[in-house]
Structure 1
């Protein structure tokens, strides 16, 4: 019984000799595989280097080459003006803009312009009714003609009086005529001379009246004071035009609003604390809100020598160096002052 238990215990124990032999064999297998991999790798490297040709030997750079490479910087384009960071907003305004009216009060007979019409200086914009003024002109011209005719009649009478005076003087010299006749002839001649002088003065006055009436008729015509574009038509045919408002809703004070497009510029407000960065003649880049991708070259025209107390700003006038039909009055703009 005791021997049977001993046999069972021996069967349950682990044989250390077999484990040692197995582990030794495993180590040998791993080492063999590593050696085989090294041999295969060496052969592959020889195969590829032999097929691709001899390797190129890299030559290290000399100190002179290194210095030349590091000391010669790349060529860069000339520096462009950079934005100073000072940006101001404003609007496009016209230095020459006028609401054209007549110098007299009258009824509008014709209007010859519409919005967008381009006119030259002296072109007719509107015509007032001048029928009564022309009738008065005809009356004055008739008076002028009568005055000139009167001068002619008096001149003929003066020639006759001169002849009478000469005859009276001859008779008096020969003691045939009386001295009274000579005196009467002299008085007649002097009177005619005075009448002719008065008639000539009346003629000059009549000429002035005619010229004044002609000027009055000319004032019934509304002309463009300068070349530009009509941006507003303020009156219609049949309305009463007056240079001064009469308080009535049917009285117009202007025919049309005219803008000189060549006088367009930008007015911006600059903060008082930044005005020292702005000088006359400074380069400016303007951008219209309507065309954000269009950069318009400009320059500072003038700095208005007064400040706005409420907003603490100073107005700056910016002249546009580029003229284009897309630039219109009252457009919003943003300008950047360049260094």
Structure 2
């Protein structure tokens, strides 16, 4: 009898020890209850900021560089002087053309003015003198003719008188023609000739002025100097690029993201852009274009963003990180991102009921970096913080996260 009691007591002690050992072997797991909080879902990608227009700058005329006013990396305004060519010859040509234009303008003014009363009076007086001289020459010739007929003078004297008469008649005709011409002024044909000469001279001034202006090479647009290949003393000809400007008014940010993100992306979504070297200076952008094509070999799609306003540190082809806000839920039932598991495209979490782990299917509403908004799990469920710590059916000891 005593032997039997001793065996029974030993069995009870062994059973109690086994139960204690089993309890020690049960794994502790950290659990959390779903809680309401704001969840912001982002699609993050890296890419480059690109100037959509880059403009090579050259000279329109042949010349020699006198000065270069910019360096690589300089920002310039539209119309800013970039390169100066030598201008001595061009200035001289401009001065000569201006003098010629002044002369042509003075000549046109004279033509338009017509004949003055003083000029008409002088022409009238000249005609009177010429007429008087002709009449006198005719009288002299008549006397010489009579004397010649009387054989008083020789043939040579008569011929001289005839020549003098003819010259006086020609002088009178010329004076009469001059007076008529003066009275007819300004004649239309004279005005046309003078006006044409002035137009030609003024055109020459414009050409010379443009030639001088072209010897100062200016920025056609505001931008950033991304390449300089001009030095003082260098000969230049039209068609050779001396500088290259990037137009920072028209820029885009190009990134590539996994094609699985397509269902969450829409044009017009806002994004935050960060340059790795300037992480304390983010700037905003808007998603302007998706695709249009997917790179099937890599499973990615291109996204183009339009920046709102560029910071001063931005440079073309700069690497940037873009975060696109694709969802924002102000008060959503959420769980730690580490709690969710996915199998065959379906999401689930592990819930502890008593001391047993079971799977609980859930639907994901938004995925933040640390928290994920879900439905399908009771608000009082004890969910494993780290879903990979156990499997359905395991016996565990839940420890609530403080």
Q: TM-score, normalised by structure 2?
A: 0.50
1:217 aligns with 2:212: yes
Offset at residue 210 of structure 1 (A):
0.4
| Partner residue in 2 for 1:232 | 227
Higher percent of residues as helix:
1
- Name the CA distance, whole Å, in 1 between partners of 2:294 and 2:80: 40
- Name the CA distance, whole Å, in 2 between partners of 1:309 and 1:103: 47
- Name the CA distance, whole Å, in 2 between partners of 1:304 and 1:198: 66
- Name the CA distance, whole Å, in 1 between partners of 2:320 and 2:61: 39
1:242 aligns with 2:237: yes
Deviation per CA, 1:220-266, whole angstroms, max 9, x where unpaired?
A: 10112233443332210111233414xxxxxxx22x33345555431
8 Å CA contact 2:270, 2:287 repeated in 1: yes
1:82 aligns with 2:41: yes
| Partner residue in 1 for 2:289 | 302
Gaps of 5+ in 2: 1-32, 129-171, 327-402
Aligned CA RMSD, in angstroms, stands at 4.4
Offset at residue 326 of structure 1 (A):
3.6
Q: Secondary structure at the match of 2:220?
A: coil
CA 1:145–1:311 in 2, change beyond 3 Å: closer, same or farther? Answer: farther
Higher percent of residues as strand:
2
Bigger Cα Rg: 1
- Name the CA distance, whole Å, in 2 between partners of 1:150 and 1:230: 50
| Partner residue in 2 for 1:112 | 69
8 Å CA contact 2:283, 2:310 repeated in 1: no
8 Å CA contact 1:117, 1:229 repeated in 2: yes
CA 1:205–1:113 in 2, change beyond 3 Å: closer, same or farther? Answer: same
| Partner residue in 1 for 2:95 | 138
8 Å CA contact 2:60, 2:239 repeated in 1: no
8 Å CA contact 1:165, 1:185 repeated in 2: no
CA 1:152–1:286 in 2, change beyond 3 Å: closer, same or farther? Answer: closer
CA 1:186–1:269 in 2, change beyond 3 Å: closer, same or farther? Answer: farther
1:94 aligns with 2:51: yes
CA 1:189–1:309 in 2, change beyond 3 Å: closer, same or farther? Answer: farther
Q: How many residues align?
A: 251
